Amino acid sequence: MKQVGIISGKGGTGKTVLTASLATLAENAVFADCDVDASDLHLLLQPKVTTAEDFAGGEEAVIDPVLCTGCRECLDVCRFDALSMNEESVAIVDSYACEGCRTCSLVCPENAVSMQRKTAGQWFRSESSYGPMLHARLIPGEDNSGKLVTKVKNEAKSLAVEKNKDWILVDGPPGIGCPVLSALAELDYVIVITEPTPSGYHDLNRVAEVIKQFRIRAGVVINKHDLNPETASEIEALAGKLGFDMAGKIPFSRNVGEAIRQGVPYIKYAEDEVSRAILSVWETIQDFLFEERVGADTPANNINTKEQER
């Protein structure tokens, strides 16, 4: 079984559009939407939810109004301004502000404070036309996205092992934060999708620093490459310098927006240059994944060689 992730330095680069199309091409696969802060792979794969479970995040303080005498000692020690007094002079907790540090429970002379697990989101197991899918939704304001990503990935792996699947496709979170680190763990290959803009170039450099820590083979896909061929060439050269494969270049098409509006993976929406480019990405990364890397005449090695010759 191979695990392939698709990530980007920032949102809006076409990551989920690419993932949804790859999902239609990957036979015998499980899909994991690890962009738990803004999951939207389900909008394109249109799965039916078969299981939904709460995800417990951190703790929060809960105050027993019968025991609370209103002494305000807890208010004085809360560094997160999560406590206030109500009209009955009983302490109350702002659930969003409470960081679960337990300090208030330690100082309360009446033992009026207890700590309880709070629900940070939900995770789902679903069935799509293309295969089973794991996804999740983090409650706005909750900061346990790294843990929820790990939960989604672990559930996807368990399912893949149980069903003897050949692939896990991971739609990773954008950026370089904790959720990305969770998404990268155990991947066999990671695709970084970017756009031919100065920020796309910059983001590729930032993401590369993170990928290096995991020693995962990586390939770059330049989305809308034809909108700025000069910067696209610079990104291609950068991919070579970073030791990344050049996994593909996808042209711009106004049809992509319409496919999203209709909730259809692009490759099922149109047979055109965009679809052919996406198909080529899938074939290319399979070649990279199953070839002998050392000394192989790979496109990545060719790029590196060309860079060295310059």
Chain residues in the site for ligand SF4 (CB under 6 A): 61, 63, 68-74, 78, 80, 82-83, 91, 93, 98-104, 108, 110, 112-113
Q: Tell the smallest beta-carbon distance from residue 306 to ligand SF4 (Å).
A: 55
The nearer residue to ligand SF4, 99 or 287, going by C-beta atoms, is 99
Cα distance between residue 118 and residue 188, in whole Å: 34
Of 72 and 117, the one with the shorter C-beta distance to ligand SF4 is 72
Cβ-based neighbour number of residue 189 at 10 Å: 19
Token pair, residue 95, equals 């659930």
Reference 185, options 25, 308, 5; nearest CA is 5
CB of 70 to ligand SF4, least distance (A): 5
Q: By C-beta, is 17 or 98 nearer to ligand SF4?
A: 98
Q: Distance (Å, rounded) from C-alpha 99 to C-alpha 195?
A: 37
Residue 64 in tokens? 């027993």
Q: In the complex with ligand SF4, which residue's Cβ is closer, 100 or 299?
A: 100
- Looking at the Cβ atoms of 83 and 222, the one nearer to ligand SF4 is 83
Largest CA-CA distance found in the chain, in angstroms, rounded: 78
CB of 57 to ligand SF4, least distance (A): 13
C-alpha 267/C-alpha 259 separation (Å) is: 9
User: Please, what is the minimum distance in Å from the beta carbon of residue 147 to ligand SF4?
Assistant: 19
Q: How far is the CB of 271 from ligand SF4 (least distance, A)?
A: 56
Distances (CA, A) of 182 to 119, 148, 170: 20, 9, 11
